Structure 1
């Protein structure tokens, strides 16, 4: 009987262990891109952020992560005005922050490390030296567990998280695919890659060759404040109604990318690219972006092209499809107007 109980116990433990490791792999696949994005903005190694997330959430399975999307156990504090939840940690029913999206939790973690003086010395370390960062976090009092640094290092080396310190946000998904080739059968993951690259081999992580520069606490504070101000500006974008039959559009207040706009307004990147006839996913300040398909004609008969203005600029200004604008003016695609040229927006240019 004892042998039977022991055998069952071993099977249960074995199954639990297998589920745990599978869960941690899935966590890496899902959140590596957030860690790399934060590394680019706040100069915190992606390997460290990802290892901390793995540890804090138990591979994404903790109550704080599942119910509060809080991946780093950040408590309310006096400056938090968002949603909260009660959770027993160091003491019963402590107040923890609740986020709308895990991405917010990742950024809050970066801001937490970047704006507190007792973590200032971390930013004097080499961003590629995950061991120094792990021991630096422990020394600064991030966690009470005396083995905290070695636990982080163990996770980083077990899952080769250091590879994410040598990539960037444009290449991170290919780095994940290289680590987990079976993801090629996962449609939801592959849908995040460019369609024409579905069948290509996963790229090697791209090494960032910019030499590391030490950062003072004051410099880090300025960088964080600039990032926060930019984020607040982008998050305050309002949808406007265009004179051309009320088409929904926005004006980009700060340089950003199509991905940010797509996620903010819950529209696919491919649709935004198609509706706005974009050749690049980068958006510049004051760019007009439509959140629905443009019309086949403008809301006024003609327009005189300004100096330096191209046909795409005019199409966006008047909410008209670029191909239709070319057709109405009997111009070849790619041909651009001269300053003062009369552009037809409703009826086709008459033949002479």
Structure 2
């Protein structure tokens, strides 16, 4: 009986959504993914795209959005060969573009800005400066309303849309969940997140929803959000030894999560970092490219408990080269205070 009820609920939910979203929050939860995907492809701030979508559609309620999947009020123009509909805007019965899916509308909006000379100066702006983009759109003639820029800025700040400028398409659903934590009780959203294949190796709930306790659901969501926050906090650094790219692991995490975040295979990361397992520990150093064959300093005194691998990671030097320079057998570990050679070979006795 519960399964039948759940199936009916899904049908009603889909029908309700087809009629449009009643609030700005629901619009954001639905379309933030599209805005972030477009940001990655065309370098247009997701906050700007979402704010424009919210404004143009009235939170998804406009006739153009509901009947034509047109979320940005883009008119036919001479270069449009797709479906059309008439709608009264600045003048009666104007021609507007119709899309098969809202995603197509989002991409067409990106192309509209990216491929027209009026907007070329927008792409010289800092992508994190949503205020400059808002004023730039108004200056370029995107809208006639003299307060257009301020309206966009108000939408962005009221809804914290600037948070989406800091994320990516692999982690955007986590950003939505963090912004709207009540979604952890939303079956459909959690299923969407679970099936998204997003970065961070999300926890999959295998048992049917009806048989999962609320406490367990909450625990799973907390794990998902925590892992997403951990991944978002990882920043690429340049190592003093040749500027090699590396990261410092902020918390215990599986290598798979790092692999997905930076789009580097686990096998490659293991090879570059001479790893014999996939479990990373807090404060581990992980290189995102080949390490150097020599150090940037001549020698180093080993600290208590340090392994040769620890030293190799600390100085960005290949482990085999480090063993060779110090005339040590592979697998042998240094003693506290031992002088480790990083550039030239240890002198023979």
**Aligned equivalents of 1:21 and 1:192: distance in 2?**
17
User: Within 5 A, what are the aligned runs for 1:142-221?
Assistant: 142-194=142-194, 196-197=203-204, 199-201=220-222, 202=225, 203-204=228-229, 206=232
1:209–1:69 distance in 2 versus 1, CA, 3 Å: farther
Indicate if the aligned counterparts of 1:31 and 1:50 stay in contact, CA closer than 8 A: yes
Alignment-derived partner of residue 129 in structure 2 = 129
Once the two structures are superposed, residues 238-288 of structure 1 have per-residue CA deviations (whole angstroms, 9 ceiling, x without a partner) of: xxxxxxxxxxxxxxxxxxxxxxxxxxxxxxxxxxxxxxxxxx9x9xxxxxx
Shift of 1:120: 0.2
The unaligned stretches of length 5 or more in structure 1 are: 1-19, 212-279, 283-352
1:188–1:156 distance in 2 versus 1, CA, 3 Å: same
Indicate if the aligned counterparts of 1:166 and 1:208 stay in contact, CA closer than 8 A: no
Indicate if the aligned counterparts of 1:167 and 1:207 stay in contact, CA closer than 8 A: no
Alignment-derived partner of residue 71 in structure 1 = 71
1:149–1:209 distance in 2 versus 1, CA, 3 Å: farther
Indicate if the aligned counterparts of 2:38 and 2:46 stay in contact, CA closer than 8 A: yes
Alignment-derived partner of residue 313 in structure 1 = none
1:98–1:156 distance in 2 versus 1, CA, 3 Å: same
SS in 1 for 2:193: coil
1:209–1:75 distance in 2 versus 1, CA, 3 Å: farther
**Aligned equivalents of 1:141 and 1:208: distance in 2?**
39
SS in 1 for 2:41: helix
The unaligned stretches of length 5 or more in structure 2 are: 1-19, 196-202, 206-219, 238-259, 264-349
1:26–1:210 distance in 2 versus 1, CA, 3 Å: farther
**Aligned equivalents of 1:163 and 1:210: distance in 2?**
20
Once the two structures are superposed, residues 139-197 of structure 1 have per-residue CA deviations (whole angstroms, 9 ceiling, x without a partner) of: 00000000000000001000000000000000000000011111112111111122625
**Aligned equivalents of 2:144 and 2:159: distance in 1?**
24
Alignment-derived partner of residue 241 in structure 1 = none
Once the two structures are superposed, residues 90-113 of structure 1 have per-residue CA deviations (whole angstroms, 9 ceiling, x without a partner) of: 110001010010000000000000
Indicate if the aligned counterparts of 2:45 and 2:128 stay in contact, CA closer than 8 A: yes
Shift of 1:207: 6.7
Does 2:126 align with 1:100? no
SS in 1 for 2:89: coil
**Aligned equivalents of 2:73 and 2:182: distance in 1?**
31
Indicate if the aligned counterparts of 1:168 and 1:208 stay in contact, CA closer than 8 A: no
**Aligned equivalents of 1:57 and 1:69: distance in 2?**
10
Indicate if the aligned counterparts of 2:184 and 2:221 stay in contact, CA closer than 8 A: no
Indicate if the aligned counterparts of 1:168 and 1:206 stay in contact, CA closer than 8 A: no
**Aligned equivalents of 1:38 and 1:95: distance in 2?**
25
The size of the alignment, in residue pairs, is 195
Alignment-derived partner of residue 35 in structure 2 = 35
**Aligned equivalents of 2:22 and 2:78: distance in 1?**
37
* TM-score, structure 1 as length reference: 0.52
Shift of 1:208: 9.4
**Aligned equivalents of 1:111 and 1:123: distance in 2?**
12
Indicate if the aligned counterparts of 2:46 and 2:164 stay in contact, CA closer than 8 A: yes
SS in 2 for 1:86: strand
Shift of 1:209: 6.2
Indicate if the aligned counterparts of 1:128 and 1:165 stay in contact, CA closer than 8 A: yes
Shift of 1:131: 0.4
Indicate if the aligned counterparts of 1:167 and 1:208 stay in contact, CA closer than 8 A: no
1:70–1:209 distance in 2 versus 1, CA, 3 Å: farther
Indicate if the aligned counterparts of 2:21 and 2:27 stay in contact, CA closer than 8 A: no
Indicate if the aligned counterparts of 2:36 and 2:172 stay in contact, CA closer than 8 A: yes
Alignment-derived partner of residue 81 in structure 2 = 81
Shift of 1:82: 1.1
Q: Bigger shift: 35-44 or 78-87?
A: 78-87
Q: Bigger shift: 114-123 or 180-189?
A: 180-189
